[in-house]
Structure 1
Amino acid sequence: MRRLGREDGSIPDPWSSPVSPKRLFRSLAFAEAVTWTILIAAMILKYGAGWDAAVLVGGSIHGLVFLAYAGISILVGVNQRWNVGAIAFAVLTAIVPYATVPFELWLIRRGRLDGDWRRGPGEAPGDRGWANRVMYWMLARPLVFGAVFVVAVVAIFAALLVIGPPGGREA
């Protein structure tokens, strides 16, 4: 009969996460680059073959992943104690095609993605600030956080669709 827990018989830490900040950020950085490829291919189909729906589909996929990447960049940036400029730059890299990947590699080389999720205040100055308190609350409730995050991304996406596509609507 198999025991609950790990292979060595130890019980896993209930606070440990299978998805580290590094893995989550890397996944979204890669997904953002992939969706740039989808969007560029869709633009080629639109202007080369006259298939307008390709940009609607490719642009929607790219837009959703862009918003998710931006949100995760903020979350990981707060967790990893990046300054506001680094967090803003992380979000801005999604605007330039494929820039998320070299930025992510730069973060890895500098050790800026190392470590696990911070689930409570540490000794660093600012660990008790409002952004950190929100992050601690969210990380203590991963299912609630995931649901709220998905709803927020979809709501922002829907609001942006109502406003209209970048460059305005074609006549």
Structure 2
Amino acid sequence: MTPRTLYRRLALAEVVTWALLLVGMALKYVTHTTELGVKVFGLVHGVVFIAFCLVTVLLWVNQRWTARDGLLGLLSAVPPFLTVWWEHRLERRGRLDGGWRLGRDGEAPANPAERVVAALLARPMLAVAVGVVAVVGLTGVALLVGPPVGNQG
């Protein structure tokens, strides 16, 4: 899977889970029918949000994005539906071109962040496992901390 394909799929998944969460919020706060949508879709959206942010950091390093591009990529996950627009913008600017620069038989890493990415890309199954553990761990921390605005009603 290329960096472009991975980022596109996660950007789309982030948009879909945002939409589902907004439906859940409407059911809870507008129609007052159920909280289940917020609980289920909130968790799903949180997992995808974390995955999108982790992949954004991965591509920031692999694609040599500027600090501005990397930070804007992370921020694009916060407002609803912005990740697909951001992914298209990166695509138009050529920031998602090519394969895994630091992958097996790729360029030699030049700094500690690139060494970590290169090590992960050299072992795809390990990279997936590390990604899953990171998403699960960060999701667990988020669940312990609680909702961004606190527990409302």
Band of TM-score, shorter chain: over 0.9
Q: Normalized against structure 2, the TM-score is what?
A: 0.93
Picking from 37, 58, 61, the partner of 2:44 is 61
RCO higher in 1 or 2 (8 Å CA, sep ≥ 6)? 2
Q: Percent identity?
A: 44
One-letter identity of the residue aligned with 1:121: E
Matches within 5 A, 1:42-121: 42-47=24-29, 48-118=31-101, 119=103, 120-121=106-107
One-letter identity of the residue aligned with 1:97: P
One-letter identity of the residue aligned with 1:169: N
Between the aligned partners of 1:148 and 1:104, the Cα distance in structure 2 is 24
- Structure 2, unpaired ranges of 5+: none
Q: What is the CA deviation profile of residues 40-80 of structure 1, one whole-angstrom value per residue up to 9, with x for unaligned ones? A: 01011112143012101110010000000000011112111
One-letter identity of the residue aligned with 2:87: E
- Structure 1, unpaired ranges of 5+: 1-18
One-letter identity of the residue aligned with 1:90: G
Q: What is the CA deviation profile of residues 60-115 of structure 1, one whole-angstrom value per residue up to 9, with x for unaligned ones? A: 01000000000001111211110122111101001011111111111111111000
Report the more deviating stretch, 78-87 or 64-73: 78-87
Cα RMSD of the aligned pairs, angstroms, is 1.2
Question: Is 1:129–2:115 an aligned residue pair?
Answer: no
Between the aligned partners of 2:147 and 2:89, the Cα distance in structure 1 is 32
Q: Normalized against structure 1, the TM-score is what?
A: 0.83
Report the more deviating stretch, 137-146 or 82-91: 82-91
Q: Larger Rg: 1 or 2?
A: 1
Matches within 5 A, 1:144-155: 144-155=126-137
Which structure has more helix as a fraction of its residues?
Answer: 2
Structure 1 segments of 4+ aligned residues over 3 angstroms from their partners? none
Count of residues in Structure 1 that have an aligned counterpart in Structure 2: 149
